[in-house]
Chains A and B, each alone.
Chain A
């Protein structure tokens, strides 16, 4: 059966002919730096990937000169806030922000009101996603109401195609319950994804515990709050043999645990966010609540370790943890504001800057698209919908055209999101998504949303 969120099965939706001309095609598995090729799209599908294609009559030509042309990005971790949080975001506005960031698929997190813990809520969100500018899949809650007490109907949700389960926003505090969830999920062939945060150790801390929290007088949460749960869950993956995905890892030691688990052959994957690759807890000295996020921004050593884990192959996916909050919620004092930051529109720019052009070891463009598209598509089971590449004739045309040299200044007010809480407000980024094609439809052209 077709995985969840696929509105038109394997077919494309866009009509007409589009030629993406003059770019460098970067395919996961292709040449690391990519290859010069034009991409011809007809009626939603790729029909040719070749250098020097003629412009067919009536074709829309998109200039990709100087650009990387890769598969549309796939975000494993998006908060669309609907239902219940429409003041912050809707499926439509979040999907538009996703398209502007080069994403052609997002996995909507279940911490909505009500939570996505039944098939009926999941169906509602999927229905909202059908007309959106990217594919909207959902993650289901592990426990009823994300309360950490009883198992949600994983089977019922799996039956309508849900592949990823998480109580994200909270970790499953009860290790015995998490064990059962993994065992039960293993039979269903689904992935259990953990927000690693031991709440007793975190003790309600609003930022990373360290030199800055001590200086600022803000209660911190120690790195161990994340690491302890990551270690527990890796042990549970060993015990149960179930697929485990660790969300938004942020500390050097968490990533070392994953590296060891992978060396051991355990079925464990993990993601990191662009903000944990680019920002440190020193930002909190501004007391600006846009820098409040969970897991918190960490120390410089953790940022360096997270980058290394990307280049070393420990990290499977970059995920945004796009978490919109209304302006008034983020104008509160740091300790009183909700955690979370926007991420969809800035993710690839930030990731490219720090991973492909950073000071340390760098990733090839193809490897970056692997982390942003191919691997997350496989983890979420969205590869079956043609997400994640490769770009080849016959494939559904999900394309991200990225200009690595364009500079732009981030402005929350200009975001397509209903919220403005970007941590990069006013900063100049290098690299920007120029065009996005979702099932052959040009949803973003010259960095502007088309609908």
Chain B
């Protein structure tokens, strides 16, 4: 396999081309086998240290990165804002420079503000992985979602399921796109792999401008539901009602929820994904969630090899 140049950091899907994404997914495929071993570890990053630096609460993403680092035999350090001197007013720059001074090779950064990992990358010499920044990007989520979709649609045993090709697939991203870093990263990644992406939601939850976005837009889920191969549901934050973006959760469910009625009208074999955590009864009915739970669990499971691939590519692979 040819090596594709990747920058020192992974700050977003924007800037990655199809070849770079496919390379990461191929690496993820090769690492997914590690989990099946009696001792699920490879020595690829022995002697390296990965710090997860989370200024916003998140359990699953942090654990997924730490698990990925350990399976590569890297040492890990954990920093969370709630238990740190950030609460004493320490600046972002001071915080990350202090952590780097302890000797780390990669900083996995989550922050409530867009662009924070990009700033960190300017201040430190370590590699930086964006683990979610404001409403900007969440690139490893998009990669693991690509992986999950390819895996679900391809026959088992392929080195990279589907060869990394999503062309011909119609993917709908439904819900609060405006405030979703997952939606931004996924739209870019799905499109890069050849899928046709449709954003579905009320105008109040879509970005004000879609100039330059490789997507179609629909305000009526029912009008497009039957054409979708993949329905990607976004989590709805309850504060959207206070901002007058929605009248009520009930009305959202009526118009955009994957209700039992809508689930019956899905294409045969259509996939339902959700980045979690789910609001059952809002963006998805509880029974529908249970029916499609396997795939959502696959998303979580695939997070580990995908993040292994990213860490390995940044810290261990040829540059």
Contacts and interface: CB of A to CB of B under 8 A. Distances in A.
A326 to B, nearest CB: 11
Contacts of B135: 217-219
Interface string B218-253: 000000000000000000000000010000000000
A333 B211 contact: no
Contacts of A217: 114, 133-137, 179, 181, 184
Contact of B211 (A211, A287, A328): A211
B113 interface: yes
B115 A333 contact: yes
User: Which of A214, A220, A222, A288 has the most B CB atoms < 10 Å from its CB?
Assistant: A214
A81 B105 CA distance: 41
Interface residues of A, number: 23
Interface in A209-250: 209-211, 213-220, 222
B113 A334 contact: yes
B208 interface: yes
A332 interface: yes
B86 to A, nearest CB: 12
Contacts of A211: 209, 211-212
A2 B91 CA distance: 47
A226 to B, nearest CB: 15
B116 A333 contact: yes
B114 A287 contact: yes
A443 B116 CA distance: 41
Contacts of B179: 217
A230 B62 CA distance: 47
Contacts of A446: none
B71 interface: no
Contact of A335 (B134, B181, B207, B213): B134
Interface in B89-119: 91-93, 111, 113-116, 118-119
B92 A331 contact: yes
B210 interface: yes
The contact size tier of chain B is 20 to 34
A215 B212 contact: yes
Contact of B136 (A216, A220, A222, A328): A216
B208 A209 contact: yes
Contacts of B181: 217
A334 B118 CA distance: 11
Contacts of A149: none
B91 A331 contact: yes
A220 B134 CA distance: 14
A218 B134 contact: yes
Interface in B64-96: 91-93
Contacts of B114: 216-218, 287, 333-335
B113 A210 contact: no
Contacts of B93: 328, 331
Given A217-B134, A332-B91, A333-B111, A222 B208 contact: yes
Given A217-B135, A217-B179, A335-B134, 14 more contacts: A210-B208, A210-B209, A211-B209, A211-B211, A213-B209, A214-B210, A215-B184, A215-B212, A216-B115, A217-B134, A217-B184, A333-B114, A333-B115, A335-B115
Interface of A: 203, 209-211, 213-220, 222, 286-288, 328, 331-336
27 contacts: A209-B208, A209-B209, A210-B208, A211-B209, A211-B211, A211-B212, A214-B178, A214-B210, A215-B14, A215-B212, A217-B133, A217-B135, A217-B136, A218-B136, A222-B208, A286-B118, A287-B116, A287-B119, A288-B119, A332-B91, A332-B113, A333-B111, A333-B114, A333-B119, A334-B113, A335-B115, A336-B113
A-B pairs with lowest CB-CB distance, top 8: A287-B115, A217-B135, A333-B113, A214-B207, A217-B136, A211-B211, A333-B116, A335-B113
